[in-house]
Amino acid sequence: MVPNYQAEHTLNLLEGIPSVFNLVYLERAARKPEGDVILCDVAREDASVVIGDLRELDIDRDGSIAIEEIDSQISAAALRAEKAAAGTPSDAVVWEEVESRTSENVELSASFLAFMAVAMMIAAVGILTDQVVLIIGAMVVGPEFGPIAGLCVAAVQLRGDLLKRSLLALAVGFPLGITASFLLTLALRALGLVPDDFAQQDHPFTEFIADPDFFSFLVAYLAGTAGVLSLTSAKSGALIGVLISVTTIPAAANIGVAAAFGDWSDWGGAMGQLSLNLGAIFLAGIGTLYLQRWLYRRRRIRHLRHEAREAAGLPMGRSRRDRAAGAKEPRASG
């Protein structure tokens, strides 16, 4: 949705970028806000680059920019556009899409807290019965990777608002879930469903949850990398949440279980496991996102000298507008 006075600049910009195709112009078709409607397809690799130019034209402020994913397209023009954009679509990161996904998943909502509590209670039962299948079930239910990913995005893009919301969700969600597993364990003990002499050392399948070591760190680091890649990639696997949760939900639930039995040795081990795993995931997430952001900035710097920008009235070699993250756009070196 483009204000009428910016339509010509926008069309000149989009016409001059080889990775843009299927360009459609509907003059004065928009009513709220008033203006023109411009539709176009963009190769995924250049999506954020093109959106950056549109933001420099203030279209996001005076109009509107909507992004939709195309599942499949049969077009020679699409093939030419993809060839004009360096890289592969599956590896390309649309940063506006990443921001949208993380913003949706870091909200401290009733459903988020309910999922955290249910996931940890399932994990607690799995620990008490030494049933790996229940641990896996808890991993599936756990929603904690959303705020963890939000922390990583906030750190890389310097977004204080996202950082606060992510920290709040984790700071409330984990204690609530641990309390739920603690109270459930106490209730099961009171009902006589769990022996008073329960010892995690006698449960080999779940004993690892309270025994942090190098492999705990390694698995958590790899899981964090896989989770961020799934967040930024066009191809994200449905089981990524399971991979991430394996290092967080069970350990947190075990804190509540150990506290209910007064087993402070296991309690300390579970606390160490959770802290180690959260730290490893956070480091892996920041490292992966930083590398992807660096590659995008290099692409953006090259694009700043594209002749299409001059046709749109944008400065060559520099951006005239700050990014939403709060840092200045990169400048192209001479």
**Range scoring the smallest mean pLDDT among 45-49, 53-57, 121-125, 190-194:** 190-194
What pLDDT does 243 receive? 60
Mean pLDDT for the stretch of residues 70-81: 90
Above 50 in pLDDT, residue 244?
yes
DSSP 2: B
* Tens-place pLDDT, residues 215-237: 889 988 988 888 888 888 866 54
| Average pLDDT across the chain, whole number | 87
**Helix, strand or coil, per DSSP, at residue 42:** strand
290-328 as b/e: b if 16+ CB within 10 A: eebbeebeebbbebbebebbebbebeeeebebebebeee
In the chain the domains, ranked by start, together with CATH numbers, are 4-90 (no CATH), 96-295 (1.20.1080)
140 or 162, which is more confident: 162
- pTM here? 0.82
What pLDDT does 234 receive? 66
Residues 6+ apart with CB under 8 A from 67: 47, 51, 94, 96, 97
Mean pLDDT for the stretch of residues 111-138: 91
Q: Locate tokens 């890649």: which residue? A: 229
Q: pLDDT confidence of 97, banded at 50, 70, 90?
A: confident
* Tens-place pLDDT, residues 269-317: 999 999 999 999 999 999 999 999 999 999 999 999 999 999 999 999 8
What pLDDT does 46 receive? 93
Measured CA to CA, the distance from residue 197 to residue 239 in angstroms comes to 36
Above 70 in pLDDT, residue 90?
yes
Q: pLDDT confidence of 330, banded at 50, 70, 90?
A: low
What pLDDT does 334 receive? 40
What pLDDT does 14 receive? 96
What pLDDT does 100 receive? 84
Above 60 in pLDDT, residue 326?
no
What pLDDT does 219 receive? 87
Check if the beta carbon of residue 227 is closer than 8 Å to that of residue 149.
yes
20 or 202, which is more confident: 20
213 or 201, which is more confident: 213
